[in-house]
Amino acid sequence: MSAPVARTFHSLGFGESARGRWLVPDRLRFLDALPGVPGIPRGAGLSLAGAGFGEDVLALDMRRFDRILAFDPGAGTITVEAGITLGKLFRFLAPRGWQIAAQPGHPDITVGGCIAGNVHGKNPLAHGCFGRWVLELDLIHPDHGRLVLSADERADLLELTIGGFGLTGVIATATILLQPMPGGRMRVEPVPVASLEAAVETLIDRQGDADQLYSWHDMATSGRRGPGLVFHGRPLNGPRSALPLASYPALNPELWALPVGVMNRPGIAVVNLAQSLRWRRPRELGAAEAAFPFARLPYYFYLYGRKGFLEHQTLVPWAAAPAYLTSLRRLFDRHGVTPGLFVMKPFGGSPGLLRFEGEGLSVALEAAGGEQARTLFTELDALDADHGGRANLIKDARLPARAVAAQYPGLDEFRRRLAAFDPRRRMRSSLSRRLEL
């Protein structure tokens, strides 16, 4: 194993950065390197917040731990090392007719990142978040050694580790319940909607039989009504297995971002026009393409330039959604900010601790980085709290602790349980410091 190297880390979008050290271990003995040093496990580093690095923190890059350890088609379970990527897992599972139920949109994301971020896929109402599918974890902590976590053993620690942002230790292996692949190909029907409100109605109407269900909106139009498309994906009849994803370009904004961003209102209008022309007809996609839409679209992130972008995702109760959307439009106008990406999803699951789960509508938006966006996002925090919403911690690089305190009743319990398990607080990150976890 090579020695740690000093480097500057950035979250995707450059919203949070820190100077720390980076270690890419190939043996689990690496924890010997930790005494006295705060560390944090790290997956692919594709989070939009500084969750996998921190100032003077040793980031433990887990990607060399990427083996499949056991596969049981009878039980529909798989045991893997946590540094395995979703893409590699897909390559193994898809030809055998299985899939991971809740997959975020990029194949380089690791299983460890999915568990620690308790991430969601393209229909969180139907499939819940990643944690729902986790049966057992092997966790390594420098002061506690190796621990097995399951519903029967240390269930409290399992709960804290799912959506725990790596702060309980390093997930070495995970056993995951799989979902039979509903079809090797999917038909994605784009339903045109004239406004955000019309999309909400369509998202509610179509909940019954969708494998994928989310909406995309153009917020650069005048009046900001948010015309867009609701994507309703259903499996096609045919073989219930799929081919792996063909090769795709690496996502690396540190290398490829444009020197100056072009995601201002006119630029966004052009990008949105191109997207809507591309997406307005029904498409038949292979399961891989449907699962990882961003694999072939890394260029989108580069358009924001070196100043990057900020993302914010809120989960609001259904009853509050119409008022929330109206106020959101006013905020965009008042601050002269046009979101480059605006996506809504119906959500489900059980909220608790710091998990981004529960019944309601999720609203995700990205805006070019800078003072205007930061001021807007500060007001968004208040708007979320006023409407009973909660922001997704792994997606927002500047969310302050006070906003989380106003939105998450489980914050104090999370802090208390983490401190009880690890009084020396061996795991730290930019996110944990910002949120005073």
Residues that bind ligand FAD (CB under 6 A): 12, 40-47, 51-52, 62, 82, 104-106, 109-110, 112-113, 116-117, 119-120, 165-166, 170-171, 294, 394
Name which of 44 and 242 has its Cβ closer to ligand FAD. Answer: 44
Q: Shortest gap between Cβ of 326 and ligand FAD (angstroms)? A: 26
Closest Cα to residue 291, out of 133, 84, 100, 130?
Answer: 100
Q: Quick one: 112 or 305, whose CB is closer to ligand FAD?
A: 112
* Nearer residue to ligand FAD within complex by CB, 60 or 195: 60
Shortest gap between Cβ of 392 and ligand FAD (angstroms)? Answer: 7
Min separation Cβ 151 and ligand FAD, Å: 19
Question: Which position's Cβ is nearest ligand FAD?
Answer: 113
CB closer to ligand FAD out of 357 and 384: 357
Helix 196-205 / helix 321-335 crossing angle, nearest 10 deg: 150
Integer CA distances (angstroms), 424 to 37, 116, 167, in order? 11, 20, 12
CA–CA separation, 60 and 55 (whole Å): 14
What distance in Å separates the CA atoms of residue 249 and residue 274, rounded to the nearest whole number? 20
Question: Based on CB atoms, which residue is closest to ligand FAD, 62 or 325?
Answer: 62
Report the nearest approach of ligand FAD to the CB of residue 230 (Å): 16
In angstroms, give the least distance from the CB of 401 to ligand FAD: 16
d(CA 254, CA 148): 37
Compute the least distance from the CB of residue 313 to ligand FAD, in Å.
8
Residue 160 beta carbon to ligand FAD: minimum distance, rounded to whole angstroms? 12
| DSSP letters spanning 309-334 | EEEEEEEE-GGGHHHHHHHHHHHHHH
Shortest spacing between CB 130 and ligand FAD, in angstroms: 8
Instruction: For ligand FAD, give the closer residue by CB, 112 or 389.
Output: 112
Compute the distance between CA of residue 175 and CA of residue 189 in angstroms, rounded to an integer: 34
- Identify which of residues 166 and 340 has a Cβ nearer to ligand FAD in the complex: 166
Q: Confirm if 115 and 158 have CB atoms less than 8 A apart.
A: no
Count the Cβ atoms, other than its own, within 10 Å of residue 39.
Answer: 26
- Smallest distance from the beta carbon of 219 to ligand FAD, in angstroms? 19
Q: Which is nearer to ligand FAD, 225 or 377 (CB)?
A: 377
324-363 CB burial, b ≥16 within 10 A, e <16? bbeebbebbeebebbbbbbbbbbbbbebbbbbbbbebbbb
Residue with tokens 């979101």: 339
Identify which of residues 10 and 234 has a Cβ nearer to ligand FAD in the complex. Answer: 10
Measured from the CB atom, the residue of 23 and 119 that comes closer to ligand FAD is 119
- DSSP H helices in 72-205: 86-93, 111-116, 124-127, 155-161, 196-205
Q: Smallest distance from the beta carbon of 41 to ligand FAD, in angstroms?
A: 4
With 0-12 / 13-18 / 19 or more C-beta atoms within 10 angstroms meaning exposed / middle / buried, residue 282 is exposed
For residue 323, the tally of other CB atoms under 10 A from its CB is 13
* Whole-number Å distance between alpha carbons of 229 and 236: 21
At residue 105, the 3 state secondary structure works out as coil
Q: Say which DSSP state 56 is in.
A: T
Strand, helix or coil at 297?
A: coil
